[in-house]
Structure 1
Amino acid sequence: MTTRIPVLICGGGIAGLTAALELHRQGVRAVLVEKHADTSPLPKARRIDPRSTEVFRLLGLADEVDRASAPLAGFDDVLVGPTMAEARAPENMAARRGLADRMSALSPAPNVLCPQNVLEPVLRRAAEERSVSVRFGTELVSFTQDDTGVTALLRPVDGDPYELTADYLIAADGARSPIRTSLGIPLGGHGHLADNLDLYFRADLTDLARARPFNLCRITNPELPGAFLSVNGTDRWLFSTSDFPDAAGLDDEDWHDLLRTAIGVPDVEVDLLGRMPWESAMRVADRFATGRVFLVGDAAHVMPPMAAAGANTAIADAANLSWKLAAVLDGTAGPALLDTYHVERHPVGYATAERSSQVVGNVGDMLSSFGQGANQSGDRMATLFGTQYTDGALIPDNRGPAPTDHYAPAGRPGTRIPHAWLDFTTSTVDLAEPGLTLVSGPHDERWSTEARHLGLRHVRVQVQSWLDEVALPADGALLLRPDTIIAWHSTSNVPLADALARILATASPDEQDRQGDATGGMFGTATAATP
């Protein structure tokens, strides 16, 4: 007899593991399968931005991520020079540090460097400790879907194939995604941008790093141009360069010599741990969902790696999709809520991938382009914290989109709830618990009654500066989603009960038509308010 579960996740990288943990937070049983025996052994993505660490904070993983990222704490500078030994910080580093200060004021969670091969084991361990069924060494061989569910054939490396049926399937199976391919979903975007090569190596460069701790070090040496990336700040490093025609013919000793040249220390001992050819490209799936199958992470969007944009976008995908699956599975929401996953995430994924594609080549080339002003339109804080869904599981309040040239979401539906400390340890961001939460000002007599009637969690906020920031009068309220996105604001002309029915897709067809006419359409095409 085939076992049936609510959600099957294919892929054990950052996207799949985050989805598994988010579903667990929402009370949904999931099974995760990954064909490889373990998490990635390679550093790959490293920069985890505050929007992502907010997700980990809500998952109860703040301390674990903090410990995992501790070796690279303070490794924030960008250096440039002919060798690592000669590299120095460019003149614009003061401005970059100012951006970091602004970032820390807008979030309760940090901006950290945590390489993928360090972060993924943290996520896997947390999932297993929370009794999520995590099955590494198990391949999804094939699947079929119909109106009732998805049936997958799974093949463990050390056992017989078996079938498992799920209500929904999350495809977190990477850039080449066999699931996306089998669904016949086309890819859009700019396509191929550059062929690159990463060299993962061991060398004790502690003294060099201690003198000038860096995140990235661009090397201008014509013998091996590219960039060093810190992995642990002592003896693990990544060097990214172009994948030139003769690269395949070089043996380890050849690479050792070239790396010594780029380091600028002729007698340093170097041990090459891995060579990773990779393609810099922009490809975005035309659809993020087909039937009961949903694409997250690289399966949905591939982009150049500046600031780990792909990994951070993947984490946001998982947070967006998971609460919607949970609401549909427990009967709180109608199935049409799931249509909003593509409506909301496709424009953001495309805009992020396109913005990342403004800088091309290896990481050194990208740094050079970035330093010359590419990819820096608008305000970084507006891009990071002010992205807005303009349609989807939300009720627009007729104020128009949030600005893109500066950070001022003002509590608009479709934007992240702004951060303010409510006490020494609790942020307004932490109010995004499972289920929808009604957040009101101090004059809450009306809203406490409505919350009880509608089965909503209710929280009163009395921080006047925050109420002013989100344009909430003392007797106002807003509706907060589990992914920290504001779904409704009391300045809207839609009553809360009607808004809730629309957001959760529980209104009758006639009611949906009536509400859509009043508020600009139900789950229409969205555009991301990003520079």
Structure 2
Amino acid sequence: MTARVPVLISGGGIAGLTTALLLRREGVYPVLVEKHAGVSPQPKARRFNPRSTEVFRLLGLAAEVAEASAPLASFSAVLAGPTLVAAQARDMSGMRERRLQQARIPELSPGPNVLCPQVVLEPILRRAAEERGVSVRLGTELVSFTQDGDGVTALLKPADGEPYKLTADYLVAADGARSPVRTALGIPRGGHGHLADNLDLYFRADLTGLAREKPFNLCEIDNPVASGAFLSVNGTDRWLFSTADFPEARTLGDGDWHDLLRIVIGVPDLDVELLSRSPWESAMRVADRFRDGRVFLTGDAAHMMPPMAAAGANTAIADAANLAWKLAAVLAGRAAPALLDTYDAERRPAGYAIAEASSTVRGHVGDMLAAYTSPDRRHDDLLATMFGTQYTEGAFVPDGRDPAPVDHYAPAGRPGTRLPHAWIDARTSTVDYAGPGLTLLTGPDNGHWITEADRLGLRLVEVPHQGWLAETCLPADGALLVRPDVIVAWHSASATPLAEAVQWVLGTAVASAQPQ
């Protein structure tokens, strides 16, 4: 008999592991398969924004991520020059307003910006997934699958064993930009398409002394031999040089690459070891749909975009947060299957907008950095972009107000926007109250909400923070219904009663909205 599981996840990168962990938080035991036996040989994404680190807080991993990112905590400089040795601090005068906005991030989120290369972060997520009961099957490839109205049957092939079948209620494709799952489904992609060919050289070299003098995050290199950018990986002996792909790359040996790296670093006799060489395409391609029956696309499988500020990885984490609680609610019978349609309705427009914005900086990473820091470049409001995004339709009840502004951060507790942050005590943010299940946040005058929340199976949390109540436009006797992905689902100013709102959000008759 073919074994059956609730959710099969194909892909063990950031998207797949985060989805698995969030499913466990909601009470679901998924199976995750990853065709590679170990972590990626490339550092990949490095910067994770506060919306992502908020998810790590919800997963109880904030301390581990902070420790892992500590080596690069002071690596914030942006340099430019003909070599790394000769590079100087880049003129950032055109970024003054953006720096002022970045300085406000601690006011708006309990999660920091962190530099934590994916090669460092993935083992943390994988270990947590295994410890919490996720069946992580490395070296196992999803060879093929079929689906019908009852589930998805997958053929899995371990590297050291015989193929076997596994049936799941749902399949999550977190299998990268070339997604075999998306290809098998025949889902087309739109967007700007190809933007540039690039080559990443991941190497070992002891640059501790140089990094101590100028701890840099990024260094743009303009050199006749090779232009591109250096990126810090651990701040001591692991680095990445990203450049345009060389037409003659296949004819170059390790010695040639070592010589090239010594030239652009500026140290002729430097001991260099090339760890990996990875060509990659910078492109914008977004799937025309993120759901096909019982199959869902997340991360790069859903939206491919240029890597500036790790936009793809951060968007993947948001995908996972959106999808996981919906799958869990449907699997537990707390929500109707129609709730799953809102994943595409919410995340596809958001993914397309982020991919399109990322595509305004083109070329290799050095070109992207130069364009991004240009005084002539127009930047959208960072805080509104990061914290103020509003879904236009989905699993929430509009309250009749106009949409949130896009030129500054002021979501005001609108349904379809992120729950505003405020510190309740030294360690607890309002954001930390999101999930598992739906949560009702109330003002201090909440007597009439207690019975209602109990009847509906909602967790109730009183928030006696006057500033936060004012920010969310809640009176002392008001309330917000919050989803596990930190999105407001209902505001008590709405004409819709709470019981009807829960039914609307879950798409089913009023019943317990809380995991049992």
In the TM superposition, residue 98 of structure 1 has moved relative to its aligned partner by 3.1
In the TM superposition, residue 106 of structure 1 has moved relative to its aligned partner by 1.2
**Counterpart of 1:391?**
393
**Counterpart of 1:516?**
none
Matched, 1:475 2:484: no
The 8 Å contact of residues 359 and 375 in structure 1, kept in 2 or not, is answered as no
**Counterpart of 2:333?**
331
The 8 Å contact of residues 359 and 374 in structure 1, kept in 2 or not, is answered as no
**Counterpart of 2:15?**
15
Of 372, 378, 381 in structure 2, the residue corresponding to residue 379 of structure 1 is 381
In the TM superposition, residue 77 of structure 1 has moved relative to its aligned partner by 1.5
The 8 Å contact of residues 2 and 163 in structure 1, kept in 2 or not, is answered as yes
**Counterpart of 1:415?**
417
In the TM superposition, residue 90 of structure 1 has moved relative to its aligned partner by 2.3
The 8 Å contact of residues 355 and 375 in structure 1, kept in 2 or not, is answered as no
Q: Which amino acid aligns with 1:117?
A: V
Q: Which amino acid aligns with 1:324?
A: K
**Counterpart of 2:67?**
67
Q: 2 CA distance for matches of 1:414 and 1:14?
A: 25
TM-score relative to the length of structure 2: 0.97
In the TM superposition, residue 360 of structure 1 has moved relative to its aligned partner by 0.5
The 8 Å contact of residues 139 and 155 in structure 1, kept in 2 or not, is answered as yes
Q: Which amino acid aligns with 1:412?
A: R
1:292-318, Cα deviation, whole Å (9 max, x unpaired): 000000110000000000000001101
**Counterpart of 2:430?**
428
The 8 Å contact of residues 358 and 374 in structure 1, kept in 2 or not, is answered as no
In the TM superposition, residue 373 of structure 1 has moved relative to its aligned partner by 5.0
Q: 1 CA distance for matches of 2:477 and 2:158?
A: 57
Identity %: 71
In the TM superposition, residue 82 of structure 1 has moved relative to its aligned partner by 1.3
SS of match in other structure, 2:460:
strand
1:240-269, Cα deviation, whole Å (9 max, x unpaired): 000131232222222212211111122221
**Counterpart of 2:35?**
35
**Counterpart of 2:494?**
492
Q: Which amino acid aligns with 2:354?
A: T
Q: 1 CA distance for matches of 2:376 and 2:401?
A: 31
Q: 2 CA distance for matches of 1:377 and 1:73?
A: 25
**Counterpart of 2:116?**
114
SS of match in other structure, 1:110:
coil
Q: Which amino acid aligns with 2:158?
A: P
The 8 Å contact of residues 29 and 133 in structure 2, kept in 1 or not, is answered as no
Describe how 1:399-410 pairs up with structure 2 within 5 A.
Answer: 399-410=401-412
Of 195, 214, 217 in structure 2, the residue corresponding to residue 215 of structure 1 is 217
Say which is worse superposed, 261-270 or 129-138, in terms of deviation.
Answer: 261-270
In the TM superposition, residue 507 of structure 1 has moved relative to its aligned partner by 4.9
Describe how 1:291-330 pairs up with structure 2 within 5 A.
Answer: 291-330=293-332
SS of match in other structure, 2:89:
coil
The 8 Å contact of residues 206 and 235 in structure 1, kept in 2 or not, is answered as yes
Say which is worse superposed, 15-24 or 66-75, in terms of deviation.
Answer: 66-75
Q: 2 CA distance for matches of 1:176 and 1:503?
A: 33
**Counterpart of 1:522?**
none
TM-score relative to the length of structure 1: 0.94
SS of match in other structure, 1:499:
helix
Question: Residues 384 and 376 from structure 1, CA distance in 2 versus in 1: closer, same or farther, beyond 3 angstroms?
Answer: farther
SS of match in other structure, 2:437:
coil
Q: 2 CA distance for matches of 1:103 and 1:463?
A: 19
Q: 2 CA distance for matches of 1:338 and 1:86?
A: 54
CA RMSD of aligned residues (A): 1.3
Q: Post-superposition, which runs of at least 4 consecutive aligned residues in structure 1 deviate over 6 A?
A: none
Q: 2 CA distance for matches of 1:378 and 1:63?
A: 31
Say which is worse superposed, 7-16 or 369-378, in terms of deviation.
Answer: 369-378
SS of match in other structure, 1:209:
helix
The 8 Å contact of residues 83 and 222 in structure 2, kept in 1 or not, is answered as yes
Q: 2 CA distance for matches of 1:465 and 1:92?
A: 34
In the TM superposition, residue 395 of structure 1 has moved relative to its aligned partner by 0.7
In the TM superposition, residue 375 of structure 1 has moved relative to its aligned partner by 6.4
**Counterpart of 1:519?**
none
SS of match in other structure, 1:175:
coil
The 8 Å contact of residues 203 and 268 in structure 1, kept in 2 or not, is answered as yes
Describe how 1:195-344 pairs up with structure 2 within 5 A.
Answer: 195-344=197-346
Say which is worse superposed, 259-268 or 347-356, in terms of deviation.
Answer: 259-268
Q: Which amino acid aligns with 1:425?
A: R
The 8 Å contact of residues 41 and 276 in structure 2, kept in 1 or not, is answered as no
In the TM superposition, residue 85 of structure 1 has moved relative to its aligned partner by 1.3
**Counterpart of 2:101?**
99
Q: Which amino acid aligns with 1:77?
A: A
**Counterpart of 2:24?**
24
SS of match in other structure, 1:404:
coil
In the TM superposition, residue 104 of structure 1 has moved relative to its aligned partner by 2.1
**Counterpart of 2:514?**
none
